[in-house]
Amino acid sequence: VWGGVTDLELTYWERLDLRRMMKRVIGGTPNKYPERYRHRTPLYNLERLKAPVLIIHGERDTNVSIEHAWRLERRLKQLDRPVTAWYFPEFNHYFPPQDNRKTVQRLTEWMKQQPTV
């Protein structure tokens, strides 16, 4: 997961600009429909996951806060699932093209080293 949303309720509270859309699509707020937000939140479906996970996240990301990555990493560790996290303190949601290419090369090598599930 590269800069991905892992907790939809957290997104609702962090992103004021997305609230209206989320209420329209989901049918209301996390306070009114917590089960709908939970159902759409990857953190609560990790028990079925078999594959190793690589988390890539810029620590200055304001689109999807670093908290999403931290929560995902914590939850995977709680479930004793294989997880690798690469955090980049200098980047936001978008990596500069040269750094993006290097990261894609690294993640490709990481994928090749993972056992088949």
Joined together, the tokens standing for residue 29 give 């707020």
Is residue 48 one of the residues assigned to a domain?
yes
Containing structural domain, residue 43: 8-112
pLDDT tens figures, 33-91: 999 999 999 999 999 998 999 999 999 999 999 999 999 999 999 999 999 999 999 99
Q: How many domains are there within the chain? A: 1
Q: Is residue 2 part of a domain?
A: no
- Structure pTM? 0.92
Do residues 67 and 10 lie in contact, with contact meaning Cβ atoms separated by under 8 Å? Answer: yes
CA gap 7, 23 in Å, rounded: 15
* Contact between 16 and 7 (Cβ < 8 Å): no
Q: Which amino acid is at 23?
A: K
- CATH number at 54 reads 3.40.50.1820
Residue 117 lies in a domain: no
Phi-psi region of 55 (alpha: psi -120 to 50; beta: other; left: phi over 0): beta
For tokens 């936001």, the residue is 92
| pLDDT of res. 117 | 66
